[in-house]
Amino acid sequence: MTHSRFTRATPVLVAVAFFSAACGGSSETELDERYAQMALHDGYWRTDIDSPDLPVTITVINDMHIDLASRRATVYAQAKALGQVVSPPQVGPGECTESPTGETVCYHPNAVYLNGSGEELLEADGNGEWWVKHSWVVDGEGYDNCELFPPSETYEDCMPVEGIWLEDARSMRVGTLPNGPYNERRPLLDTEPVTYEVVGYLSPTEEARRLTFDCVDEASMFDGQTRPCPTAP
């Protein structure tokens, strides 16, 4: 989920599959129209986070790809400090390294290696970087989520999550339902270009974090393509 956590108390992701009951009599055309604004989630999103718990500013990248035909949302995520990737650790499966603060950090369970080829690798070739991949089908199959941040020697807070499309036909909820933790992700249409909001909830009544991402004109490390930022319909 991309989903990032910056304190032990902060959540990550989630879901529920309720849509099939609501759509029993809907046509395929109506379903497609309902999900049309998923396209506004597609973009290269970046935000800076300052926290008293962190010695430096953390830059979080969510390189989000939307496949409208399958309703699959895929986020490739990194956390950077002073221009260097701090999460996921830049090591492969079964490997560990030392963080800038001297802690042992190991391969992230959701990490894939991207080099612009359009493929996800599990072995570094020197032409790319390791990214955390979170991918789910909206109102469909979920995935096992391990949080982006902080990097760790062991990752013990991973959990199965799903994603659902919300009633505003613009936002999605990703995480564990009905009680959380989960994130709500939505494009904000009152800016040009569109900005992107991720709100983390520990429970339906307890908000933990609210992040606003800007769209940036940068090539995706997945396929080397630079996509236009979404604009409000």
pLDDT at 31: 56
Look at residue 229 and tell me if it is in a domain. no
pLDDT 10s digits, 20-45: 223 334 445 555 789 999 999 999 99
Please say if the pLDDT value at position 17 is more than 70.
no
Q: What is the mean pLDDT of residues 217-229?
A: 97
Please say if the pLDDT value at position 11 is more than 70.
no
Q: What is the mean pLDDT of residues 211-229?
A: 97
Look at residue 182 and tell me if it is in a domain. yes
Question: Which residue range(s) make up the domain with 124?
Answer: 19-215
Please say if the pLDDT value at position 16 is more than 60.
no
| Inter-residue contact 90 to 130 (CB < 8 Å) | yes
Look at residue 145 and tell me if it is in a domain. yes
In this prediction, residue 162 has a pLDDT band, given cuts at 50, 70 and 90, of very high
Look at residue 8 and tell me if it is in a domain. no
Residue with tokens 């959540």: 11
**Average pLDDT along the chain:** 88
In this prediction, residue 14 has a pLDDT band, given cuts at 50, 70 and 90, of very low
Look at residue 79 and tell me if it is in a domain. yes
- pTM (2 decimals)? 0.86
Count of domains for the chain: 1
pLDDT 10s digits, 54-78: 789 999 999 999 999 999 999 999 9
Select from 45, 49, 31 the least CA-distant residue to 76. 45
| Percent above pLDDT 70 for the chain | 87
| Inter-residue contact 60 to 4 (CB < 8 Å) | yes
Look at residue 3 and tell me if it is in a domain. no
| Percent above pLDDT 90 for the chain | 79
Q: How far apart are CA 34 and CA 27, in angstroms?
A: 11
pLDDT 10s digits, 72-117: 999 999 999 999 999 999 999 999 999 988 999 999 999 999 999 9
- 211 vs 18, 97, 171, 188, CA distance in Å? 27, 29, 15, 12
Please say if the pLDDT value at position 15 is more than 50.
no
Q: Please tell me which residue, 129 or 177, carries the higher pLDDT value.
A: 129
Look at residue 166 and tell me if it is in a domain. yes
pLDDT at 101: 84
pLDDT at 30: 54
Look at residue 223 and tell me if it is in a domain. no
